[in-house]
Amino acid sequence: MEQFFINNENMDVRVCKWGSDDNPTIICFHGLGSTNLSFLEIGELLKDKYHIISIDLPGHGRTPAFENDEDYGIPNLIKWVSDVIKLLNKDNFYILAHSWGGCIALHYAAKYPKKVKKILLLDGGYHQKQAIYDYFKKIDKEKLNFKPDCSLEEEIKSYEEDFNGYVFSNWNDFLEVERNNYLRWSELLEKASKDLMKEEEDGTIRFCACGDTARGAIKSMYNFPTNEIYKKLETPILLIQATLPESWAEIRNILVEEFEKNVNCLVKKVEATHLIHWDNPFFVAEEVMEWMK
């Protein structure tokens, strides 16, 4: 594994890569709040067969945030992604993307269809914000074990509070909480989890991504829904759909059904949470090798 920065007058981005340049290239887009090390276990499992490049998206990891909410809008975000890929000198490649990264992958592929060979989505790309808000407005919320977001304003507020409030007095306290957040744990997941955070001058441990970044990304997904570009997508897509928690199963199935009807795709369900590649990296690695061979 190698981490490095691309720095010039227009670009400041941290990149992580695994494997030889001679192998087929997979470019990875992480989810909201994550970093390029989100794909650490996948990279280690596939580094002998692929050249894997994972990018810290704006406002995440060690890549600086955009100055304004509007900069996270899809036109500017896709231009930024395209500029990074050009600097990496990649003409044709595969994409592996999780969650918010899936939305970015689809919009990129719609604009640059000849650049992308195939896409593998990890429970991402098919979520439509307004449809999710409308769904949770209608159902009996007393049956849920969480408080759903039923509007753009509610979701933005929730993310801002989560991102800005994820603060710890030391690394041990942080890791104790993190270990209980996932279905499994490993040394590599610990390294990826620590990469989510930064240590302030006073010793406190704080989330790298801030509420302003979350607000910009959520607004972008709302204002530029992927279902508006479904008909433009030519690239073959494999969507791996999470099934946990069960309270999300119905709306996920509704949205995936729309996705299947309108996109050249294959859908596979797996018993995992939204963080599929953390819950079962071995399954994901096998699917990558089968889909991208």
Q: Do 30 and 208 meet the contact criterion of CB atoms below 8 Å apart?
A: no
∠ CA 65-151-216, nearest 5°, is 10
Compute the mean pLDDT over every residue in the chain, rounded to the nearest whole number.
Answer: 97
Q: Is the pLDDT of residue 90 over 80?
A: no
pLDDT category at 26 given cuts 50, 70, 90 is very high
Distances (CA, A) of 293 to 23, 104, 286: 11, 23, 11
Angle between helices 100-111 and 74-87 (to 10 degrees): 80
Cis preceding-peptide flag for 225 (omega within 30 of 0): no
Q: How confident is the model at residue 133 (pLDDT cuts 50, 70, 90)?
A: very high
- In the chain the domains, ranked by start, together with CATH numbers, are 2-291 (3.40.50.1820)
Backbone CA torsion sign across 201, 207, 208, 213: negative
Q: What is the pLDDT of residue 9?
A: 84
The pLDDT assigned to 15 comes to 98
- pLDDT confidence bin for 268, thresholds 50/70/90: very high
- pLDDT value of residue 142: 85
Q: What is the pLDDT of residues 95-109, one digit of tens each?
A: 999 999 999 999 999
List pLDDT tens digits, range 240-255. 999 999 999 999 999 9
What are the pLDDT digits (tens) for 183-237?
Answer: 999 999 999 999 999 999 999 999 999 999 999 999 999 999 999 999 999 999 9
pLDDT at residue 162, as a whole number: 97
Summarize the confidence of residues 106-129 as an average pLDDT: 98
